[in-house]
Amino acid sequence: MRRSISASLRTSYSYLPKLWDTSYPTYRPLWADTSRKMSGTKRPGDGLGAKAEGERWKRKKTASETEPSFRSTGSHEEVLLQDVKLLLGEPKRSGIAPEQFSQVELSISALGSTGDGLAISHDGTRVYVVPFTVPGDTVVVKVVKNFPSYSMTDLIEVVKPSNDRDDKLVFCRYFGRCSGCQFQMLPGDYQLQHKKIVIAKAMQNFSNLDPSSIPPIGEVMPSPLLRGYRTKLTPHFDGPRRGGFKEGAPVPDIGFQLKGRSFVLDIEDCPIGTDSVRNGFKSQRTYVKENLHTFKRGATLLLRETTERTFSPETNGGCESTQTFTDIKTCITNSKALVTEWVGRTKFISPAGSFFQNNNSILEKFTAFVQEQLMIPKLAGRDHAESYLIDAYCGSGLFSICCGHGFKGILGVDISSQSIESARKNATENGIHNARFITGNAEAIFADVDFPPELTSVVIDPPRKGCDELFLSQLLKLGPERLVYISCNVHTMARDIGWLVQQGLGKTYNIDKIGGFDFFPQASTRSAFRQGHFH
């Protein structure tokens, strides 16, 4: 008996902008002030909300940094190490590491999966990791830190730009220093092709599958918006170690993490945010400055867009009436306040601090695609109302509600009771009456499922760390006919899909399709999907 897996990646690269000074004839040095101490509180992410996902499935962090396995975490370091191994080929003699803070001229050979350029040392024994570069660039870099097979660097100057670099595309004055975006100097088509390659490398390096069992990677679907698309930002500022801010204390830097450093870069505006989020950012900066003495320590600010939609009927030709609407968008800063998101004509209400996809412009196209992948092939030409849908990691019900049309029954499962409450309200709000939502126990997440496996599709959208072995074992035992796996970390998705295909319990999953959607243009994070079925 065989069934199928369909994998879907939200393709994006998720870091933030850098400083680009157009008054300079060449790329402005990334680190103008090398005397600043490299200290400060490490940020819990890039400040764009990548890790603010709320309560999710738990998994032990026991990852190997050398050999991808089920314990692989898909961390930045692990992914980089795989790229370094791929670039250097067979192990060579160990070269002499360059002096820290020395400057080297290099030619960029490849664009890594982490979004940084990669250059091979002149003796072929080491890789230099260079941010904000393109294959074909000739650059001068400063060595920051050495590892056994690679060196982290700062970009000092682009001596000769690659034919693929177009500096006129850069739209943010912080690009080159902020850790949010890596690709503003690259055309959109180039970014999409690179992200497709990243998906392919993830399957090669992290799935442990025979290449013959991996289908060709589909094209990455572009985002309708290349800037002004993020409906959520989480800038940060650091505070004193003790005692809080005193009256008259200097205002700290408010913004996002400085690329390659552990302190905050002061940022006044982020053009990948929507207009309402950008306006909210300015207001919050002013609020912090005027009320700094009320903060006992540093803080992470929440900027989340909410949409109020007003419908107005219009007469068309005097006979038919069509309904138009007006959207009024504002920024919410209270994590407990409710926000409204619209995916096409579907309405979602959830707490501002909860997880929801951050690029609304691509969501309608994406959810329609996911719904298509959830259809069970053997029911083609028959009434699809015979089938069932399970939405694991359901959150506030995005896939249950947007993709559940035509299913006989829908079950959404999450371990967050707050998410389940939101999902139930959203189903009622949208007139969905064949869905139920339950708070699952991680030890027996599918205990209440009574759907026939051969007529059941499952969609999963786990956090970046992927699924744990306990969850995947229960999924295999459930044995749904079709599985669509959605992820913003293609490396943990490749690991999980490989595990599902290699395990079995008397059934075998085949991968039908792998592709990506560019949820985060200009950044190196990507969202992906995989779809498959049991045979």
Average pLDDT in the 68-91 region? Answer: 85
Residue 244's pLDDT band (boundaries 50, 70, 90)? confident
For residue 266, list its beta bridge partners: 255
Q: Amino acid identity of 432?
A: I
The answer to whether position 332 is within a domain reads: yes
Is 310 inside any structural domain? yes
Task: Flag whether 207 is in a domain.
Answer: no
Give the confidence band of 57 by pLDDT, cuts at 50, 70, 90: very low
By annotation, the residues acting in catalysis are 488
- The percent of residues in the chain predicted with pLDDT above 70, rounded, is 80
pLDDT in tens, 458-484: 999 999 999 999 999 999 999 999 999
Please report the DSSP string for 2-16 in residue order: EEEEEEEEEEE--B-
Q: How confident is the model at residue 18 (pLDDT cuts 50, 70, 90)?
A: very low
Is residue 28 pLDDT above 60, yes or no? Answer: no
Distances (CA, A) of 97 to 21, 128, 146, 499: 32, 11, 7, 37
First-to-last C-alpha distance (Å) of the chain: 4
Number of domains in the chain: 1
Q: Is residue 338 part of a domain?
A: yes
What does the pLDDT average to over 302-313? 92
Residue 313 falls inside a structural domain: yes
> Quick check: 308 pLDDT over 50?
yes
Residue 329 belongs to what domain range? 305-351
Burial zone of 441 (CB within 10 Å; 0-12 exposed, 13-18 middle, 19+ buried): exposed
- Beta strands (DSSP E) in 115-246 are 117-120, 127-130, 138-146, 150-160, 217-221, 232-233, 236-237
Instruction: Name the helix (H) or strand (E) containing 474.
Output: helix 469-478
Q: 161-173, pLDDT tens digit by residue?
A: 999 999 999 999 9
- pLDDT, tens digit (0-9, with 9 covering 90-100), for 104-155: 999 999 999 999 999 999 999 999 999 999 999 999 999 999 999 999 999 9
| Within-domain flag for 17 | no
DSSP string, 229-251: -BSEE--EE---SSS-PPTTPPP
Other CB atoms within a 10 A radius of the CB of residue 494 amount to: 33
What are 354-405's pLDDT values in tens digits?
999 999 999 999 999 999 999 887 666 556 668 999 999 999 999 999 998 8
More confident position, 126 or 54: 126
Contact 218, 514 (CB under 8 A): yes
Residue 347 within any structural domain of the chain = yes
Tokens of 400: 């249950």
**Residue 319: inside a domain, yes or no?**
yes
pTM above 0.75, yes or no: yes
